[in-house]
Structure 1
Amino acid sequence: MAALDVQDFLEGWKLVVKHLENVEDADLILQQVVFGFWRIWKCRNDLVFKGVTTEPRVAVELWHRHVEEFRTASDTSEWGTGALGSDRWDRVRGGRRVGSGEGGVRHGDGIVVGERREEVGLLLWQKPLFGTLKLNCDAAWKKATGEGGVGWVLRDFAGLPLLARGMGGERFGDAIMAEAEAIRRGLESVVGSEVWAGSTCLVVESDSKGLINMLNKETTVDVKLEVYIQDIWRMTCVFPVVRFCFTPRQCNRDAHSIAAYVVKHGGRFGWDELGPEFLFNILAEDANVMVRL
């Protein structure tokens, strides 16, 4: 509030609200301001009463997550993109678009919500919301030989792995075909298991932005990928809600590590819960667990 040249918080808050009166998406900006203040207060209390110092990057990540969780819980059909790069969602009901976002598609009786995730400098894997599962998929491909492998990891809201799988020794025409196969195989693996029962939403993440845009119908589907994408869309009917999201490579290390492993060793691999050492440490770091192998 010092920047506003006021001593009283309420007076400063009124100035902020007045300043944003004619600003587009003012409500969204105010949401972020409120949660930002709350996060600062929490960090201050942790330091004063517990002697715990919160790293700035952690505080900002929590700030962003709380805004996202609030908007999800509010069940509002349209959110704009605010100062923190929060996601704009499309919700499609009965085949009719509601709101002004992009990328939402509906298949069968289930709602498939497309999300365009903007990179905001927080290169950390983010846990999904309660009741949501997150499937990270990636591929490794050798241009010289066409050989490739795919890997995927399914985790719950606590960041705990429910399954991790990979297939090597595959052949692909190019890298994006391998990326599409990773998502297709990952969804097949989830559908064929019972671990997703009771979940209200599945988030599918890939670091192939072009592929995610096609899956969200933001760009025209490449002819060579039609078979892959049709299979992927067909499998989304099993889940109440599916979101296809782009994620930076740094946030997709687990799936990439599996893909690189299966390319090197060939064959099919599957792990439940802990997994091998090379994967365990990445999963532990993503889940903010201090244990390492």
Structure 2
Amino acid sequence: MWYGCSLQLDIVALKGRDFREYWGRLCDRFRDNERQDELLLESVFLMWRIWKCRYDMIFKRVPANPIEVINIARQQVVEFHACHDMNKVVTGGVASGGNTSFAGQQVRWKRPIFEVLKINCDGSWCGKTCKDGYGWACLELGCTEVEVELDSQLIIRMVNEEYVIDATLECFLHDIRFLASQLGTVTFAFVERHGNTAAHVVASYVTSRGGAFRWDAIDPEFLFNILAEDVNITIRI
């Protein structure tokens, strides 16, 4: 499990007589890494998840899927960072409780600079039906540069090579970088959920309905209203 996650650790080599010795060896393992705090944080969440799985196995007889354990721990790391970023100061505005304000107006989606195409994307999964979907919203056209936003901080860090790539996603990230290299200037940025609402609801809509959908000039009612609210337009349908 430790080697299968983004840490890719041989835990046997770090094994100590007790937790204190084990933790010391783990700290020594990342001591010279510039991402030491991030790696140790992920280690803590993974250890907690392993402990929970052992409890479920011993007392509830519920086996654990290693891949699910790793994914849950990774998601908890992302949620931890999101909670700590909720109240940070944002350039040009102030963030409060996940909402950004500028000139007295609430801002969710930020307009790109001139001649930049912004693409917001998101994915969705339904555990009951085992169906997934994805969606994106392109909000500017006729541009020479591309800015891609999504609300998964972990994926953004992997694409930007700021985080160790998960082996299960390596082929997809390679394809993303290859396609981006064909488009010229492409940047990938993290945005909080309230700034990615349009892509989120499109992905959820596709997951629930199935099939493929494309809207151009005439959007469905639920999407039109969200896009209007993103740019502070009072018109609703």
Please indicate the TM-score interval, normalised by the length of the shorter structure: 0.5 to 0.7
Distance apart, 1:127 and its partner CA: 0.7
Q: Any stretches of 5+ residues in structure 1 without a counterpart? A: 1-82, 88-118, 157-194
- Change in CA separation of 1:133 and 1:226 when aligned onto 2, cut-off 3 Å: same
Q: Encode CA deviations 1:225-253: one digit per residue, 9 max, x unaligned.
A: 11111111011123231111111111111
Amino acid in structure 1 at the alignment position of 2:117: L
Amino acid in structure 2 at the alignment position of 1:214: M
Amino acid in structure 2 at the alignment position of 1:231: D
Matched, 1:149 2:133: yes
Q: Encode CA deviations 1:77-136: one digit per residue, 9 max, x unaligned.
A: xxxxxx94449xxxxxxxxxxxxxxxxxxxxxxxxxxxxxxx974161111111011100
Distance apart, 1:143 and its partner CA: 3.0
Amino acid in structure 1 at the alignment position of 2:217: E
Counterpart for residue 215 of structure 2 = 271
Whole-angstrom distance in 1 between the partners of 2:90 and 2:220:
35
| Alpha carbons 1:85, 1:120 under 8 Å: kept | no
Distance apart, 1:261 and its partner CA: 0.8
* Larger CA deviation: 209-218 vs 233-242: 233-242
Whole-angstrom distance in 2 between the partners of 1:267 and 1:85:
38
Amino acid in structure 2 at the alignment position of 1:225: L
Amino acid in structure 1 at the alignment position of 2:195: C
Q: TM-score under structure 2 normalisation? A: 0.55
Whole-angstrom distance in 1 between the partners of 2:90 and 2:120:
21
Q: Any stretches of 5+ residues in structure 2 without a counterpart? A: 1-87, 101-106
Secondary structure, counterpart of 2:188 in structure 1: strand
Counterpart for residue 24 of structure 2 = none
1:56-205 equivalences in 2 (<5 Å): 84-86=89-91, 121-122=99-100, 124-156=108-140, 198-205=142-149
Instruction: Tell me which of 280, 283, 289 is aligned to 2:224.
Output: 280
Q: Encode CA deviations 1:13-64: one digit per residue, 9 max, x unaligned.
A: xxxxxxxxxxxxxxxxxxxxxxxxxxxxxxxxxxxxxxxxxxxxxxxxxxxx
Counterpart for residue 181 of structure 2 = 237
Q: TM-score under structure 1 normalisation? A: 0.45
Amino acid in structure 1 at the alignment position of 2:205: Y
Whole-angstrom distance in 1 between the partners of 2:217 and 2:171:
32
Distance apart, 1:274 and its partner CA: 2.9
Counterpart for residue 165 of structure 2 = 221
Secondary structure, counterpart of 1:269 in structure 2: coil
Amino acid in structure 2 at the alignment position of 1:149: G
- Count residues in correspondence: 140
Whole-angstrom distance in 1 between the partners of 2:91 and 2:144:
21
